[in-house]
Amino acid sequence: MKKSNYLRLLTVACGVLTITACSKDKPVEGGEDSGNSKKKEKFVFIVTGQGSSESGSSGTYIVTTDDVSQGNLSIVGNGMPATEFSFINQNNHVFGLTYGGQGPITPYAIDAKGDLQRLKDDQVNAETAGIYGNFGDKNVILGTTNRSMVNPVATLRNYDAQNFSIANKNTVDLSKVLGGKRMAIWTGVFQVGNKVYIPFQSGDGSNNWGGDFTTTDTTYIGIFSYPELKFEKTIRDGRGSHIGNWFAQQGLAVDDKGDAYVWFSANEASLATKNKSGFLRIKKGTDEFDKDYYFDIESLGKGKIARGSYLKDNKFLMTIYNKGEQSEGVGGGLVKLYIVDIQTKKMTEIIEIPSHEQQGYKDVVYVDKGGAKAYYTCQDKDDKQYYTYIIDINNATAKRGLKFTGISQVSSMSKISY
């Protein structure tokens, strides 16, 4: 990615006004799969307030609701101000991660009364996480951001989301994992079987942004052991391109059979490639790309991949750039939403969700545990308001539900039981 895109995003992030709120109330333990049928659930959204008198202050807020099928949601009388930059859901909590230098990992949960609580007493200090992802249902893997050959040693941390502590950590020299001549710039962290998979971009490491990305006709993944977090090897495939992008936390998912699929946009001007946008596969237990599988989505004539999330039964929910559209760094460009079957290699447009601007980093998606429904939140390009859509996965249809009022951005959606 070009330096200007990074600087533009960092400027926006640093301009967010943050307000601190805290509580020492401890939530009731137990997650969605705890087996207690009496537990209730709330949807949890991370939003940015517009700052008008009707909508409340600007800044980052955590808001909750019982129902996303209808109604309106704002931060007025609901939102809890949050100081964090990014968030991840694990072990029936939402964890806030700071951006820049050292900062706390902050747990949020819902108490027995249904009230959102910020667990300030359980904060743990850690370096900024440039990549992060879940491992199992109790841990989060976090990695620092290092892009320059001058400072190539990055740290992986295993955060215990049950005991609110760093379980272990390990360092890796990112100037060596691609053979010693290129800087590996990681774009996400994912569990595949009992291993940690980290996709890389390949830069020359000539500056703090990674330098020039000149080897974009290859897909790279670093494989690390768990729980030691030790680098084992790099796998690569010349049919693809770089997976994901800076801070995107998407580009790889594991299906119900345990096979891993990766997808690549091949769309950004700074990451131009001769290869088409599509999917590659890594069969369960192999730790190698499957040479017999390649899904060229671009040749279907719908456009290039923007983002994706796994649903169920070989199906992915994908945003696809409209023809002629191109991303402007991490986000931007008009996209349409499709359900893509990676076995039959067919894609079905969800026509009830109109074209909209591609969101930054990753799509705002939540998939029901049962696999019948998915929830997708995006901004309407006409009225500029955000809406949550309820998607029938089997029929590839959707209904518009919850409307967000006085909110300029929705960046995350999850569920917490209580």
pLDDT along the chain (418 residues), means of 10: 37 33 37 58 94 64 97 92 92 91 93 95 93 97 94 97 98 94 94 97 92 89 98 97 86 97 84 90 98 97 94 96 79 94 97 95 92 95 97 97 96 95
Closest CA to 308 of 319, 296, 321, 323: 319
Quick one: pLDDT at residue 393?
97
Quick one: pLDDT at residue 57?
66
Which residues have C-beta within 8 Å of that of residue 181, sequence separation ≥ 6? none
Quick one: pLDDT at residue 58?
75
From CA 391, how far away is CA 399, in angstroms rounded? 7
Closest CA to 317 of 332, 335, 334, 301: 335
From CA 127, how far away is CA 318, in angstroms rounded? 32
Quick one: pLDDT at residue 23?
34
Quick one: pLDDT at residue 270?
63
Q: Domains plus CATH for the chain?
A: 3-417 (2.130.10.10)
AA identity, residue 245: N
Quick one: pLDDT at residue 328?
65
Beta strands in 113-230 (DSSP E): 116-118, 124-127, 131-135, 139-143, 153-160, 165-173, 183-186, 190-192, 195-203, 219-225
Quick one: pLDDT at residue 98?
84
